[in-house]
Amino acid sequence: MSDEIEIKLQVPPAALQKARQLPLLRGAPARRGRLVSVYFDTPRHKLRENGIALRVRHKGRKRLQTVKTAGDGALVRGEWEAEIRGDQPDLTVVADSPLGKLASDRLARKLRPVFETVVTRTAISLRAGDSELEVALDSGEIRAGRRRERISEIEIELKKGDPAEVARLAERLAQVLPARFEPRTKPERGFALARGNGAAAVHATDIALERHMTTAEAFRAIGFSCLSQLCANEPGVRHADSESVHQMRVGLRRLRAAMSVFKGLLRDSESEGIKAGLKWLAEQLGPARDFDVFVRESVAPLSGTASEMGVLRKDLEARRDAGFRCAREAVEGERYRRLTLEVALWLANGGWSTAPDPLRSALRARPVAAFASEALSARFARIAKKMKKLKKLDAHRRHRLRIAIKKLRYAVEFFASLFGGAKSRRKFAAVLEELQEILGTLNDFGVHRRLAGDIVRHGRRKDRRSQKAFAMGIVTGREQVRFDDCIEAAIKAGGRLSSRQQFWN
């Protein structure tokens, strides 16, 4: 078994051809070959559900079987290789890999080829100080039945030495090539292609932290997980898929929440620049999802109550569509390309991870289990205190409380693998989710009231403005009736949260 430490960059085909001629790579030892890899799984994709990829690579007459798993975010992956005799997987040689726990004769009978990758690879060997790197220029395609997807990417893999050299080389290449950070592995892209839902929304995946990890290692793993979710939803955002916009926002929120949880590590100007970039992206994605939810949850259910509601709905749908165009233009733009790449390189080797001052060095080296316990306790105590005053909180302070609850909920998800008590943890997280949803509804009510004036004023025809004013009155009036019930529901949920066992202690 070995850990595969790599960063993947997606580039246009013309840039891939240009890369070989860069002074950085020109003249370095290289070998060129054609790689055909067939990926296997069961009809219900049992291996994929367990975070395992199984492939058989054809190298002339040789067959090399590889088992891969996700590891430290998008930077480190587990890899187990063995030469086998035939074209079909051999599960007798996977005992020391995670697949060994699932291997059986029954599983072997169910395995079938799902897709293949056909790649022309130029592998270039480089040295950076005492480190050895391999730069793979891959051009080809993924094939799943009649479906095809182009591969044009640069993989930078550490063979020996300092992992920071991977990020440094990626940064140098990105300065001269129009590269995009690509968190998805070929198996992830292949399975999406095989299912025919390459533009489907991608949800967050579980984060596997180990208690022996340092706080810095844990932040890097969490950060890459959040960034991967964010980037994986690009295709759906380009296709104006509402759930993809939502899940990209979730990935963005999770990343910003992680930066808040680990803020003690991130007291530098580079981290502040990353925060500003993420805030910009949040602003580009917000209108599409907000107006979509407004239409579906607040206006559409009332469409039959008055003819004026149709006028309001048409106006809001136009705003929603404009929001989707804004989101698409953002992810297709240069600023987004630079931002996601900067975040990846920052996570891998940013100043936060190398600052020499003793305090931050000590914080980075601290065992993450102790850090997590303190962080969860502190956030829980602040929320419990505010929940006791919920009835007295104005809209702004309720909004801040909702954000604090959301961050605690994400922190619970980040650190879940460090603690036992799965049942207690699930119940705790469920109450947090309920509270977040109730307070989110209350926040929506306030947003709708603030939007009312702008919505009513929008448009040239006076009669249309009057109709929208009437319809908005129905919407906001209905929401006001629900206000007190939501407050009471939040108070009750807060009581249940206070009585829940703190699973991390």
pLDDT at 462: 64
Residue carrying the six token digits 């891969």: 68
Q: How far apart are CA 449 and CA 193, in angstroms?
A: 43
- Sorted by sequence, the CB contacts under 8 Å of residue 429 that are 6+ apart come out as 409, 412, 413
Q: What is the 3-class SS of 400-447, one letter each residue?
A: HHHHHHHHHHHHHHHHHHHCCCHHHHHHHHHHHHHHHHHHHHHHHHHH
* SS3 at position 119: strand
The reported pLDDT for the residue numbered 190 is 94
Q: Report the SS3 class of residue 15.
A: helix
The closest of 201, 34, 189 to 120, measured between CA atoms, is: 34
For the chain, what is the radius of gyration of the CA atoms? 25
- pLDDT means per 10 residues, the chain with 505 residues, are 79 94 92 96 94 93 91 70 95 93 94 97 94 96 95 95 92 94 90 84 90 95 95 94 95 97 95 97 94 89 81 89 96 96 94 92 96 96 92 92 96 94 90 94 86 70 77 86 92 90 87
Spatial distance between the Cα atoms of 348 and 163, rounded to a whole number of angstroms = 8
What does pTM read for this prediction?
0.90
As given in the structure block, the two tokens for residue 391 are 């009835």
pLDDT at residue 59 in the model = 85
**Secondary structure (H, E, C), 225-277:** HHHHHHHHCHHHHHCCCHHHHHHHHHHHHHHHHHHHHCHHHCCCHHHHHHHHH
At residue 71, the pLDDT reads 57
What is the Cα–Cα distance from 410 to 430, expressed in whole angstroms? 12
Nearest Cα to Cα of residue 47 among 3, 91, 92 = 91
